[in-house]
Structure 1
């Protein structure tokens, strides 16, 4: 019984999911720089699915567009619950992650543009705008109760707004073609989901089926399909009762284990396989490297905290509950973990130039490691000084 008890604790621990995720990052990097690299890449590139309805894609696409939509569904459920009955239920608290995310997009993009205007790298201005919600929340979870829950909610909300902003940027500036008919079908699915909520349908199956169709239409529209998870989450019914468990809370409970111990680890394995090549380190000390690294680290911290400070001083917003400015700086550093979405934008920005793509990916990895380690250490130190 002792082993079973510890195993249950492991499965229910947010810290263990963070440790597993970091292990998968390290494992993926080792594989990508070993004799297994070619075989591993072959697996990621292998087409899976059916030609019927045009649903045959490489495994990496299923992970990044399919499984990550489930992750965004869970995060969206948590955000909606907090909006309805928790930390984000007041306008002051809900407005802060929105304005912080705007600052965290504008300032990094400006820093990148400063270093790369009128160069061959200029098109990558959106690379440092994105926050990797999976990795940033995983590192924050390693701190356990040493940081207030409100900071996790703040970072999750900020990262969602950030990623939605990145998706809009991709749709407007990097999408080669938007298929408007599929986008119209996506809007119709959202309407169906809203009506199901309005007429108080309680069973999950009524939402899952149109939710899957929403993902399909969104994916074929040319817009990043993970947004379907957030849209679906915001239509799942909830309540403000402490005694009655809502459909939203039931679904949230069901998704925690598969997301933390299947979806996120697979995502890390598929996206961290960066093969180190000659010249990558030199690329860190050019305009591309400076733009990405300073954008993600300095730009995120300054943008998030400057915009937050302005709105708090204007008494429009307020700090997350039981938090302080040192913790806000630490959270801003964690938001500098750009990784997946940043790499995705880099691939779109420099399509047809694999050598530039590799330099950009390496700079993103370095910046994300520095931001993650710095944010973790600052938050851990501030927790000790407060206790």
Structure 2
């Protein structure tokens, strides 16, 4: 059977192709000067970055358009996870189970009642398209599932992921759906900034509770991301596949105090599977000097200014975030603002006091 044809994405804006640094505006390979040759992979585009500092260590066509498949679920998590209570119990509806027959699912049943946390685990471990529909419906509020997809696109814009557009919450192929290896890194970094996501991504097995009211048994789920099971220091990530997208992959791992992220699109399974290609690229990244880099993952706060940096050094400030998403640079800016306001109020108080003294004379 012939492979489906990918719909044409919008023309690549040269300014957006340079987001993160001018060296990233290439359809080919970009690596630090003097670095060892990266491993040969079948992925059509890829990127390796430092998850903590945001430094891009290397890539191939990092801003080239690609089809995401189920790594799109990470955008759903970035957009919706911070706004949902993991303990909330949700009842599954018939429309939640409307997705492509035979595609990946966690096994939700109509009328079943599940916690949001169980849904996130089903989304990450089993790539549940059913879970994606429910979570998008919840995150979309009155807009329902369509509102959830709109929230995903709004989050992509906020993150500076200008080459990403979601048409489905699950990553199942939809019209005008695309992303890039660079955008996936921005989205993944936003996900890993949340403790709940890190916990879900690192979970190897989870239990789905029985539904006595509808006579449905409980069962176990196994994380299908082999990086988590077979790569030392793995923190998890997400796998993806459709006939159109081929294999996509996101993975993160920690080694010797460094945490690296790899994203790849358009891979084939021979001679190595997607996660194995990701593992090889992570090995290559860990072998680079700590200060190596060819660009930077831009911060969300800079999204409105185009997110362009002139060189890796220009974006080398370390960004640290706690589970609420507060950043050190944000904190410093806030402290400075408070000091300035305090000084102005002090001056105003002094002037008013002086005026009262002048009136009393």
Q: TM bucket by the smaller chain?
A: under 0.3
Task: Choose between structure 1 and 2: higher strand proportion.
Answer: 2
Per chain length, whose mean CA-contact separation is higher, i.e. which structure has more relative contact order (CA < 8 Å, sep 6+)?
A: 1
TM-score by length of 1: 0.26
Report the TM-score when normalising by structure 2.
Answer: 0.27
- Give the structure with the larger helix fraction: 1
